[in-house]
Structures are given as C-alpha cells and as structure tokens.
Amino acid sequence: MKNIIFLAPPAAGKGTLSEMLQEKYGYGHISTGDLLREEVKKGTDLGKEAEGLMKAGKYVPDELILKLIKNRIVKPDCDNGYILDGFPRTIVQAEKYDELLKELNKDLGVVIYIEIDKEMAIKRACSRITCPKCGRIFNKYSNEMKPKKEGICDDCGEKLIQRADDSEETFNKRFDEYIEKTMPLYDYYNEKGVLRKIKAYESKYDTFDEAVKVIEE
C-alpha cells in the first residue's frame, strides 16, 4: 500500500478522508502535533526538549521532528502504509524526509493535493462545529456531517462548539497563507512525479472514491 502525504488547504476535508482511508486500508496515521504531545505526556527526553522550546515560544527544530517521525514509521502499524499529517511544511523538511526514507529504505509513496474552491472552503469552515471532548468534527449544514441531535456530539454527548478561528475573516487569512506557503511543496513533489490532485466534492464519498483511485492506480 502506498504511503500518503496530504497537501490540503483548510477545510478541504483531510481529516475526514484520513479516517475513511484508515478504516478501509488500515493505514497508520502520523500527526506531528500528536507525536509531540505524546512525547511531552510521557516525559521522554525528546518530550522535555520539545516542551521547553514550546514554552519559550520557539519552533521545534526539524531534527527533533524527524526523530519523532523516524521512531513512528518503523512501528508495526505502518508496515503496510501510513498517512503523514502536518509534515513536511517546507522544502527543507521535504528534503530531510527524503534522506530519512533512504536511510530506512522506505518509499515516499504518493503526495495527494486536495483541491478545493475557496468559497466552498469558507462555507465549510464557517459552519463547522467541533466536540471539545473527543475532537470529532461536524458540519451543521451538511447532511452527511451534521450531528444526529442538533448541537450534540454523536459519540460522547458533549455540547458542540465553533472554533474561534472559523470566522470568515480569520479563515480567509489562513487559506491564503496556506496556499502561498504550500505552492513550493506542490511544485517540489510535482517535479518528482509523485503528486496527484483530487477534488474536494460536496460529498465526502466522492472525494474518497477519487483518493482510492489514486492509491490503487
């Protein structure tokens, strides 16, 4: 099974698509944010170093992130493929990740760019509601994504909230900034011949079908 890197603007549906692909194929899911939080919680040397940097308002260096990824992608649940979420974010990170893959004799796989119209992304983001307890995301205007009971999480019964950064003004800035910063990575992987584009449809199942075609091509 092909390893996957997602390049996806905000509200493109990367999280939902990742969950659907995990369920179908048994992918390991690697979120750099989750890895950092886990190391901090465990109190490991890496975790302590990362926590000290974050508390000081400094970025966690690429070398530390790569150590976490290296430790994670050799675990058994990644043997048949994994989804890399939130990394790489820069060309330098992409190049260092390439070096790591060579060291471990692992394949890059496929880079999937989820293309979404900005107006659709804004509509999705500004109607998105989240469970503060379990983190599940709903959408109050989508038949597929809205909760069974209005304003209540299907999984844990918690009252759903709207994130402060899901206002139209804030979202516009996030979206434009993402596109600007991601284009160098888009070009980098396109030149390598590993980039594939899929479309973010209104229905998550249509987007999922496109992703499946890419993975199984």
Active site members: 14, 89, 128, 163, 174
Residues forming beta bridges with residue 159, ordered by sequence position:
152
Residues in the chain: 217
Cβ 171 vs Cβ 125: under 8 Å: yes
**DSSP per position, 145-176:** TS-SBTTB-TTT-PBPB--GGGSHHHHHHHHH
> Can you tell me the distance from the alpha carbon of 147 to that of 131, in angstroms, rounded to the nearest whole number?
10
If 0-12 CB within 10 Å is exposed, 13-18 middle and 19+ buried, where does residue 106 land? middle
CA–CA dist 176, 76 (Å, integer): 38
Q: Per residue, what are the HEC states of 81-109?
A: CEEEECCCCCHHHHHHHHHHHHHHCCCCC
